[in-house]
């Protein structure tokens, strides 16, 4: 699994380095232009259950960009809900030189189910790019975000377990006009964890 994940990351990095123009917030995993945002839906398919949700972001005209969402997972009559928020700091001066979208970023996920709570906080550095596919604004926006992921699981008795692991997430969106559609992958190097694949789509404003 580690070898396969590394191969995916290597291929994504090679694609990004070959890019010719930067995307505004692609490094944080969103194709929003400066001064605009996106809103859309997503579906993830990890082993054993399915997860659905909505998400959105706002890319300010300054260096700060924000994103958030809510997800629900359903399995044998039980449900797991996750609230998500994130922030990214765009390094535009460096990005213009290398033709990339670069940003340190932070995401916070809070999940709750049957008296158990889970905090998951990836602290990463994103690399993204915009690859034009002709006229009309059609483009691919690939990104990859290696991260240090802090996690804490707490039970109803007040006991908790914390750990820090390496994580990796990325994906590619096809942008056409004011809409986007793409795929994602996310993995954390923790015992028993598998790669989470997803699809998503939405509109820009």
Q: What is the chain written as a DSSP string?
A: -HHHHHHHHHHHHHHHHT--B--SSGGGT--PPTTEEEEEEEEE--TT-EEEEEEEEEE-SSSEEEEEEEEEEEETTEEEEEEEEEEEE--HHHHHHHT-EEEEEEEEEEEEETTEEEEEEEEEEEEE-BEE-SSTT-EEEEEEEEEEEEEEEE-TTS-EEEEEEEEEEEEEEEEETTEEEEEEEEEE-STT---EEEEEEEEE-
Residue 144 pairs in a beta bridge with 127, 170
Residue 205 forms part of a structural domain: no
Residue 123 forms part of a structural domain: yes
The whole-angstrom separation of Cα 12 and Cα 8 is: 6
The structure's pTM equals 0.83
How confident is the prediction along the chain (205 residues), in pLDDT tens digits per residue? 444 444 444 444 444 443 334 445 799 999 998 899 999 999 998 766 788 999 999 999 889 999 999 999 877 667 889 999 999 998 876 656 556 889 999 999 999 887 789 999 999 999 999 898 877 779 999 999 999 999 999 987 778 899 999 999 999 999 998 999 999 999 999 777 788 999 999 999 9
> How many of the other CB atoms lie within 10 Å of CB of 48?
9
Which pLDDT score is estimated for 155? 83
Domain coverage including residue 44:
2-176+186-200
Domains held by the chain: number: 1
Which pLDDT score is estimated for 159? 85
Residue 156 forms part of a structural domain: yes
Check: CB of residue 36 under 8 Å from CB of residue 204: yes
Residue 181 forms part of a structural domain: no
Which pLDDT score is estimated for 48? 67
The whole-angstrom separation of Cα 179 and Cα 204 is: 6
Torsion of CA 63, 71, 51, 55, to 10 degrees: -40
Which pLDDT score is estimated for 2? 42
Which pLDDT score is estimated for 18? 39
Sign of torsion, CA 198 24 66 105? positive
Residue 69 forms part of a structural domain: yes
């Amino acid at each position: 699994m580690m070898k396969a994940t590394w191969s995916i990351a290597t291929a994504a990095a090679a694609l990004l380095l070959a890019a010719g123009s930067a995307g505004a917030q692609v490094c944080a995993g969103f194709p929003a232009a400066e001064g605009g945002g996106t809103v859309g839906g997503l579906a993830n398919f990890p082993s054993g259950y399915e997860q659905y949700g909505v998400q959105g972001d706002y890319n300010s005209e300054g260096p700060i960009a924000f994103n958030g969402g809510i997800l629900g997972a359903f399995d044998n009559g039980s449900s797991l809900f996750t609230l998500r928020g994130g922030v990214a700091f765009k390094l535009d001066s460096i990005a213009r030189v290398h033709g990339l979208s670069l940003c340190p970023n932070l995401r916070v996920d809070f999940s709750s189910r049957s008296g158990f709570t889970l905090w998951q906080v990836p602290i990463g550095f994103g690399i993204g790019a915009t690859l034009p596919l002709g006229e009309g604004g059609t483009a691919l926006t690939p990104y990859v975000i290696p991260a240090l992921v802090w996690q804490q699981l707490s039970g109803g008795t007040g006991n908790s377990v914390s750990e820090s692991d390496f994580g990796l997430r990325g994906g590619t969106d096809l942008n056409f006009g004011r809409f986007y559609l793409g795929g994602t992958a996310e993995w954390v190097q923790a015992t028993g964890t598998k790669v989470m694949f997803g699809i998503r789509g939405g509109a820009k404003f």
